[in-house]
Amino acid sequence: MSLTNKVAIVTGGARGIGRGIVLALAKEGAKVVAFTYVSLSSTPHAAALVKEVSALGFSAHAIQADCRDLSAPNHIVTETLSAFSVSTLDILVNNAGVGSAGTLLGEITAEEFATVMDVNVRAVIFMTQAFVRHIARGGRIVNLSSVSARGGYATQSVYTASKAAVEGLTRVWATELGHKYGATVNAVNPGPVDTDMYRAAGKVHLIRMEEQNKKTPAAPRAGSENDVADIVLFLCEERSRWVTGDVVCANGGMMFV
């Protein structure tokens, strides 16, 4: 197994793409997979995922934490280290994110901007900062972007800006952390993936994406959790040691970049 004894943190891991990533890491032998969730409605999903990982013979630990809370990153790291009696961390997947309201430029509010940027950008920065304080040599950081970062889709101004920022941060951190920690930092840029977040993106955006899905070269459909999780898994393995500062576009050919 490629990740034997590795300790991983996945933010937003109870459902959707995050859940797929947690299972992919566990199936490759990650000794500890700590994952976060925020809402009470996700509690049963988190508990079920812990049981599923345990059934594979590995350990998982669910941490309820709101990424908008500035104390959350240190809390997540501290609880992970304590729960599994470890002193270093190997893998961070910054998956937690929120979509925007699907509003045109003239309708964007300060509240929408703050919510999206706090979760999709600020939380990624400070979660990574907290992780790096305990990173093991050769650690892996994977950030989740979106095809929206490059697609120029109407009604997606704030979300697009947040994911473009994540791609920029990925390149900066690859430069900053490579020699110092032997770490790689990459991003995965999914196209539409059939998750709760995708279905809640707004009627206008959803209709547009469904039309786009029909034209996707790899297959006329939205992506699945596993389509993305398998790529994240590779970027967490030793096999990806010569890949850093990169953005892998997991969109089935919807967009060639």
Q: Give the residue numbers annotated as catalytic, written as ranges.
A: 145-146, 159, 163
Tokens read off for 76: 């997540």
Radius of gyration of the chain (CA): 17
Write the burial class of residue 2 (CB in 10 Å: 0-12 exposed, 13-18 middle, 19+ buried).
middle
Rounded to whole angstroms, the Cα distance separating 251 from 234 reads: 16
22: closest CA among 75, 66, 72, 60?
60
SS3 assignment for 101-125 = CCECHHHCCHHHHHHHHHHHHHHHH
Q: Is 12 left (phi over 0), alpha (psi -120 to 50) or beta?
A: left
Write the burial class of residue 207 (CB in 10 Å: 0-12 exposed, 13-18 middle, 19+ buried).
exposed
β-pair partners for 32: 7, 59
Cβ(148)–Cβ(254) below 8 Å: no
Tokens read off for 20: 């797929």
